[in-house]
Amino acid sequence: RRRDRADETLQRIDGLLEERRRQLGNTAPVKKRKQYLADRNNVIIVKGWYLLAQDKLKDAEAYFDDYLGDAAANTNLRTGLAHAYLWRNWPRRALEQFEVVWELDPKDRKGLTGLGWTLHELNYRREALALADDLRQRYPTDLSVRDLWETLHVDMMWHLQPEFHLTREFSGSTEFGASLLLEKPVTPLFSLYARILRIEAWDDTDGGTDRNDWNRAGFGFRWIVLPELVWWMGMGFDVTGGDDFGLDTRLQWRPTDPLRITAEYNSFSLDVPIRPASRGVTAERADLDVLYVESDLREYGIGGGTQWFSDDNTYAYGTARYNQNLYSHPDVKIRGGFEAYYGTYSKQDVDYYSPKYEWSLLLTPSIQWVNFIRYERKSLSAVYLRAGVGGEDGYSTYPVGGVTFEQTYVHSKTFDLTAGVSYDLRIYDGDYTHVLGLYLVLNWYL
């Protein structure tokens, strides 16, 4: 990661190669000329990988593609192009290139390792595991092979995920939630999970206190039905009363590299705003989200859904969003975008915030940076900003915004921790409300 030294070294190598070229001339022995050409070709490949290592993926793609025009059978160039495709979020394109590499040279270790990562990304999990096991047997000391093998076998471990969140609105509304997920893959394509959950919500805005809590447990499965289609299905119930059964199902379809469509239905959802939640309101909900990831540089999304509250109020919403890369470096990434939102409530004669309609238009810049990386251990920080305007039925337009600071610590492939704190300035019935949030997520593979 000492890129200044890397730049200097490449410049020195270019100088040495140019000096050798002048010394060889046209009368040098064939053996020396072949050695010079081999060294020059190695430097060409190293420069392409150096572009990849700097997250200059678009430039690396063009670089490898250009040289392949003159050396289509060079597996090193084609492997570099395949990795550029993979890291630009185009795994199907990458797969085509890796398969060509395999045909040209079945022993190309770097190409086979990249093929394993690509098969895993495309949900060909059995094939990826078999390939990783084979590579591990053949090349037990290769660190790239070992990285692939360990990562794919982590996916087959028990997964324990505790999660906590706290939201405090300084109008008197508070919500606390804690959950514990335990998941175990049965096969590379099918896993079972169990979850316990506690949610508390209370509101003392009007002097009194409305308070409700839920204690639920559930179980379900995650099934890769097809490489393009993943299905989650779960059932939950109240552990204290043995009632309030609910069904939660989600389908995610990725028909092409860029397009990802997610549909979800939950017959007993606790994901409702704090104020109605404090009054014991739950919801039946359905959501649809369409995400188009053009490349590593930009993405677009639209979504919408409906919540049918248990008090016969109905909430419907729609969102549109755009996000793009502004600056990319292995240690610092800056992105910018916007998000538009519109929501409606069917009832206004309720004792919580329920406008006929509300809307917001926000700019959403973010910055992420690396604090340190040492082998598998790393510390990452991020700041997500929200700034724009919002409004609601019967009131004017107001400036709104917020900020989230997130800290991630990765100890190893089997243990990581993410924590965040947020602040938002929101509008309720024409009045500003300050909102603080905290969350903590731990992932532990056993």
Burial of 309 (0-12, 13-18, 19+ CB in 10 A): buried
User: How high is the pLDDT of residue 2?
Assistant: 85
Residue type, 44: I
Angle between helices 143-154 and 109-121 (to 10 degrees): 20
Positive or negative, the Cα torsion across 308, 314, 320, 321?
negative
Look up tokens 């004669």; give the residue.
349
Which 8-state DSSP code applies to residue 124? Answer: -
Residues 383-421 pLDDT 10s: 999 999 999 998 989 999 999 999 999 999 999 999 999
Count of Cβ atoms closer than 10 Å to residue 25 Cβ: 8
Could you give the 3-state DSSP secondary structure of residue 29? coil
pLDDT band at 207 (very low <50, low <70, confident <90, very high): low
User: How high is the pLDDT of residue 241?
Assistant: 83
Any idea which of 4-13, 246-255, 290-299, 317-326 has the lowest mean pLDDT? 4-13
Read off the pLDDT of each residue in 246-258 and give the average, rounded to a whole number. Answer: 95
User: How high is the pLDDT of residue 171?
Assistant: 80
Look up tokens 């982590």; give the residue.
154
pLDDT band at 3 (very low <50, low <70, confident <90, very high): confident
Among candidate residues 259, 257, 281, the one with its CA nearest the CA of residue 270: 281
Residue type, 399: P
pLDDT band at 26 (very low <50, low <70, confident <90, very high): low
Taking the CA atoms of residue 96, residue 97, residue 101 and residue 103 in that order, the dihedral angle to the nearest 10 degrees is 30
Q: What is the rounded CA–CA span in Å between residue 56 and residue 196?
A: 43
User: How high is the pLDDT of residue 28?
Assistant: 66
Read off the pLDDT of each residue in 77-101 and give the average, rounded to a whole number. Answer: 95
Which 8-state DSSP code applies to residue 295? Answer: S
Q: Which residue has the higher pLDDT, 29 or 251?
A: 251
Among candidate residues 269, 233, 227, 271, the one with its CA nearest the CA of residue 251: 233
- Token pair, residue 333, equals 């990434």
Asked whether residue 29 carries a pLDDT value surpassing 80, the answer given is no
Could you give the 3-state DSSP secondary structure of residue 431? strand
